[in-house]
Amino acid sequence: MSVFFVICGPSGAGKTTLLTRVRRRFPDLVYVPSYTSRPPRNPRELKAGRYRFISKEEFERRIRQNGFLEYAVYAGNYYGTSRSEVQTLLKAGHDVIKEADVQGVRQLRRRRFGGRLVAIFILPPSLPELEHRLDKRGTESGAARRKRLAAVLDELGALDLFDYIVINRRVPESVERLSAIIRAERSFHT
Ligand code: 5GP
C-alpha cells in the first residue's frame, strides 16, 4: 500500500526547509502542494510551488464540490489538500508527501484514501526559539503573529495524533531523522 507522509508543525519550526531538503533526497516521493486562500507573502512564494493560491470564493466552491480530502481554517485562512490528486497518485502506487496542520491530520486519521498515513510532527526546540524564528522571518506581526503562537499551543495538545515527532534543533540532523523515518516506512509492507 502506498504511503502518504504528512508533515505538520508550527509556522517557524522549520518545516519548509526540511521538506525542501527531504524532497531532494527522495526524488520519487511525490510532493503535493496545498491549496490556500492566504495571499502570497511575497512574489517569491508565488513561484515556490508550496501552495496553489486561490480566492476564498474559489476555495469555498471546491469545499461544496467535495474537492478536498481535508481542509482547515488556520489563522483566518483556508488550507486544503486536493482529494482527486492524492487519491490518484496513491492508487497509481506513488508515495506522497505534503504538509498539513493538526486539524488536517485529524481529518485524515478518520478518512480512507487508498494509502497508509504516516504523520510526522516537527517541533521547534522551545517556544522562545519558535518566537525568535518567527520574528527573524519577519513575515508576521501584530494579530497574525499572536494567532500563530496561539495555534502552536493548540497543536501541542494533539501530539498523540502523530506517528513521529522530530525536534528540529539542527537542520542536517533533522533531515537525517526524517530520511530514516521515510526509508523505514516505505519498506514496511502491510
Ligand atoms: P502558513 O500560512 O504558515 O504557510 O501555513 C499555516 C499552516 O497551514 C501551517 O501549519 C501549514 O502546515 C498548514 N497547511 C499547509 N497546507 C495545508 C493543507 O493542505 N491542509 C491543512 N490542513 N493545513 C495546511
- pLDDT score at 145: 80
CA distance 116 to 146: 35
Kindly report the average pLDDT of the chain as a whole number.
92
Please say if the pLDDT value at position 182 is more than 70. yes
Among protein residues, the one whose CA lies closest to atom 17 of ligand 1: 100
Helix orientation angle between 127-137 and 142-156, rounded to the nearest 10 degrees = 150
Judged by DSSP in three states, 81 sits in strand
Please say if the pLDDT value at position 190 is more than 70. no
Phi/psi-derived region of residue 171, left when phi > 0, alpha when psi is between -120 and 50, beta in every other case: alpha
Please say if the pLDDT value at position 127 is more than 90. no
Q: Is 148 touching ligand 1 by the criterion CB < 6 Å?
A: no
Which residues 6+ apart lie within 8 Å of 155 measured at CB? 8, 9, 10, 101, 102, 121
- pLDDT score at 189: 67
Let me know: does 116 contact 159? Beta carbons within 8 Å. Answer: no
Task: For a ligand 1 pocket test, name from 79, 111, 147, 155 the mutation site with the most ligand atoms within 8 angstroms of its C-beta.
Answer: 79
More confident residue, 90 or 155: 90
- pLDDT score at 84: 96
Each as own residue / partner, the long-range contacts of residues 38-47 (CB below 8 Å, 24 or more positions apart, any chain) are 38/77, 38/78, 38/79, 41/139, 42/139
Q: Is 140 touching ligand 1 by the criterion CB < 6 Å?
A: no
Cα dist. 19→25, 27, 83, 143, 179 in Å? 10, 12, 21, 27, 10
Q: How many domains does the chain have?
A: 1
- pLDDT score at 135: 83
Give the pLDDT band of residue 89 (cuts 50, 70, 90).
Answer: very high
For residue 148, count other CB atoms closer than 10 A to its CB: 19
Mean pLDDT of 145-174: 87
- Using a pLDDT cut of 90, give the percent of the chain over it: 71
Give the pLDDT band of residue 125 (cuts 50, 70, 90).
Answer: confident
Q: Is 81 touching ligand 1 by the criterion CB < 6 Å?
A: yes
Q: Which atom of ligand 1 is nearest to the CA of 8?
A: 12
- pLDDT score at 138: 79
CA distance 125 to 132: 11
Burial tier of 66 (Cβ tally within 10 Å: 0-12, 13-18, 19+): exposed
Q: What is the pLDDT of residues 9-57, one digit of tens each?
A: 887 778 999 999 999 999 999 999 999 999 999 999 998 899 999 999 9
**Domain of residue 46, CATH code:** 3.40.50.300
Q: Which domain holds residue 13?
A: 3-188
Burial tier of 168 (Cβ tally within 10 Å: 0-12, 13-18, 19+): buried
Give 88 Cα–ligand 1 centroid separation in angstroms. 22
CA distance 137 to 119: 26
